[in-house]
Every structure is written in structure tokens, then in C-alpha cells.
Structure 1
Amino acid sequence: MHFSLPRVTPRTAKLTAWLAIPAALAVSGIAVSNASYAAFSATTSNAASNWSAGSVALTDDDANAALFTVTGLKPGLTGANCIAVTSTGSLPSAVKLYATNTATTNALSSYLSVSIEQGTGGGFGSCTGFTPLATTPSLFAGTLAALGTANTGYATGLGSWTPTGTAPETRVYRITYSLAASTPNSAQGGTASLGLTWEAQNS
């Protein structure tokens, strides 16, 4: 017996190929659909982290006024004033005292003696009640010229006060000056000026 195969025309071949593509896509779609539901998942997370910087802060009670404004200075004259410095920072720190903006004429600063003590009690304008610290009360004793030359920045600053940063702390400084009785006539009409700076750096 003889069978004849149907003739496949180009149109039939194209149609067959076109029909085969959707069938393949359908099978693929079933596989993707199954895969999208084939995995379980779980997560855990940590709450948002936060950072806040601490601080170092110093204030004083001088109301922006100079410790001394002296005119008519003469040999043997002396005077004193106090200033209260308060640390309000939240970090432990080390506080140093140093001289700034020094100037003199007729070498007056070389004959002007200065002493600086630290303690408690008293404040700007009055040293009433000032009590020197039991340990290392004296920070400096010498001429104004020496202070303005040797102690001019934090690295060479005076003092060893170390506020803890847990609560406000106050330290009072008593500054005393006197013009030497041996001051020569060449210093007449001379001037001297010096600023004091307290600086805290966190430790």
C-alpha cells in the first residue's frame, strides 16, 4: 500500500512555526509562575543608629571688662582682682591659661610683677572669700614680660584643671600685680598690656 505525505508549502511551514511559539511561551509561563511562589523569606533588622557629639565650653564672669585698668602707676603700687571661670562642657577636658596680645613701652612690663593663684570663692570685681587650693595653688609668679613670653598658647599654658564634663565646674583665679620699688626713671610714662585666655581641650 502506498501513502502519499501531504505537501508542506512555505505558507504551512510558517504557520506551523508561528503556532509552535505560543505553545513554548505558555510552557515557559507556567514555569515562571511556579518559580515566583517557590521561595520562603524572612528578615531581621536593627533600629536606626544615632550619633551626637559632645562639647567643651568655658565661660567667665568678667562681662567683657578688663581685669585691670590702672593709670598713675608708681613704684610700690599693688592691686588684685579675681575672675571665675566655669566649665559647662559635656566632655572631660583639660584647661590651660596663657597670655595673649602682650605689648609694652619703656620696658614697663619688665618691672611689673604678677602672681596668679587658683582657688574657690570670690569673683570678678572682688576677691572676698577667695581661698587658694590646698594643692598647687600658685600658677605663676614673675614679671608681666616673662608671662607674655613664656606662656603664650595651650601647649605652654598654665594649670592642671581637668573638669569631668558630668556637671558645671567653677574655678576662681586671683591675679595680683605690683610695680617694683626699684623701677628706674626710664620706665616713666611707659605702658603695659596683656590679655589672659583660658582654653579647654577634650581629653
Structure 2
Amino acid sequence: MARPWLNVLAQVVPVPLGLLLSGALVWGATNADWSGTSSNSGNTWTAASAGLGNDSRKPMFSIEDMRPGDAGSNCARIKSNAEFPTALKLYSNSPNWPNDFQSFVNLRIEMGSGGTFGNCDGFTPHRTAFDGTLDEFVNLHTDFRTGVGPWTLPGKPPNSRSFRFAWKFSPSAPNGAQGETVNEVTFTWEARERE
């Protein structure tokens, strides 16, 4: 005699079994899809530099025992390694002086090409940057905003500008100027990105 529960089982089991097998086939088909990738690695961002240097290894001037009418000069070459155009200016951030001795030192600064520190041979002036007294330069040109210039340094090094500093101790320096000394003077070149 046939068992009725076996008939029910034979009718009910194929449906879940069929669903289970069809799900497995779908999963297998999805898992078998081919794919490909392409990458671009090693990406970095580095800021540019507006580095500036000069070829001096000691002060341009250390003059002793000056007499009225004495004169001299020296050159310096300024180099930029900036990869973008910059504006170059020259100024002095030296402290104010307590006497007027520096007003008897005449100073002429020219911007040009050629020449090196300690040797102005080959220097070709392009423009006079300053012509006055040392006192005027130090008091009037104290930072980038008030500095002389600007001169454009194009991007992509090497870029350079040469400067000739010519001084003369005034023939009209008074007797009271004997033995006087100016305070230490610092000449500063600064380059900023052109706007």
C-alpha cells in the first residue's frame, strides 16, 4: 500500500530543489564574468620653489682708511632656481644710523649682465637701479615694497641678474668725518612670484 506522505514529499521537494539549483547556476554565472582594470599610480604634488642665491662668499665692501675722493666697486650675480617668473627687488634692512657719516658715501647701483663677485670684468649695465648716498638707500629702501626694481626673472632656471655697486667717498666730507665708521650694511635681494 502506498504511503500518502511520500506522494506529498515527491511533489513538494522538487520545487525547493529546483530553486536551489537555479540560484547556484545564477551565482556561478555572475562569478564567472570577466573584468579588466587599468591603473595610473605614483601621483604626487610638489610645490614650486622661488629659491634665490648669490655668488658672494664675504661682504662686498670692507673699506678702511678712506680719504675724500676714494672710490671702488664690486659686483654680485643673483641666481634664481624658480620654475615660474618672479619679480626681483633690492633693499637694505640695516638699522638706522646715529650719525650722518654715511651721507658722505655716494652709491651707484646698476643692474646688468656679466661680471661675478670680486670681478666686474665683462659687466654690462642695463639700467641704473639707484644713484644717491648710502644714507638715502638705507633709509628709503627698507623692504620688498619699497625696494628698487623690480626686474623680471623668467621661469625655468638658470636665471640670473648681475649688479655693480660703485661707491665714492665724497671729496667734500668734513674734517669731522675722520675715523668715523658706518654701521654694518646688508643688501637684500628678494624674488616674489609675478602677479
What's the TM-score once normalised by structure 2's chain length? 0.76
Q: Which residue of 2 aligns with 1:56?
A: 50
Q: Which residue of 2 aligns with 1:186?
A: 176
Secondary structure in structure 2 of the residue aligned to 1:146 = helix
Aligned 8 A contact 1:91 1:166 in 2: yes
Identity %: 36
Q: Distance in 1 between matches of 2:153 and 2:86?
A: 6
Q: Distance in 2 between matches of 1:118 and 1:71?
A: 26
Aligned 8 A contact 1:85 1:171 in 2: yes
Pair 1:201 & 2:195 matched: no
**1:77-125 CA distance string (max 9 Å, x none):** 1110001111112222111110122454542111111000011111111
Q: Which runs of 4+ in 1 moved over 6 A?
A: 42-46
Q: Distance in 2 between matches of 1:45 and 1:111?
A: 73
Aligned 8 A contact 2:48 2:83 in 1: yes
Aligned 8 A contact 1:106 1:187 in 2: no
Pair 1:76 & 2:74 matched: no
Aligned 8 A contact 1:82 1:173 in 2: yes
Q: Distance in 2 between matches of 1:158 and 1:50?
A: 38
What's the TM-score once normalised by structure 1's chain length? 0.73
Secondary structure in structure 2 of the residue aligned to 1:101 = coil
* Paired residue type of 1:141: D
Q: Distance in 2 between matches of 1:44 and 1:160?
A: 52
Unaligned 5+ segments in structure 1 are 1-31
Q: Distance in 1 between matches of 2:85 and 2:36?
A: 41
Aligned 8 A contact 1:104 1:190 in 2: no
Q: Distance in 2 between matches of 1:100 and 1:189?
A: 25
Pair 1:161 & 2:151 matched: yes
| More displaced stretch, 69-78 vs 45-54 | 45-54
Aligned 8 A contact 2:96 2:139 in 1: no
Aligned 8 A contact 1:102 1:195 in 2: no
Structure label with greater radius of gyration:
1
Matches within 5 A, 1:105-120: 106-120=99-113
Q: Distance in 1 between matches of 2:153 and 2:37?
A: 43
Report the aligned-residue RMSD.
2.7
Q: Distance in 1 between matches of 2:144 and 2:160?
A: 19
Matches within 5 A, 1:3-82: 47=40, 49-63=43-57, 65-82=58-75
Q: Distance in 2 between matches of 1:91 and 1:129?
A: 28
Aligned 8 A contact 1:106 1:191 in 2: no
Q: How many residues align?
A: 175
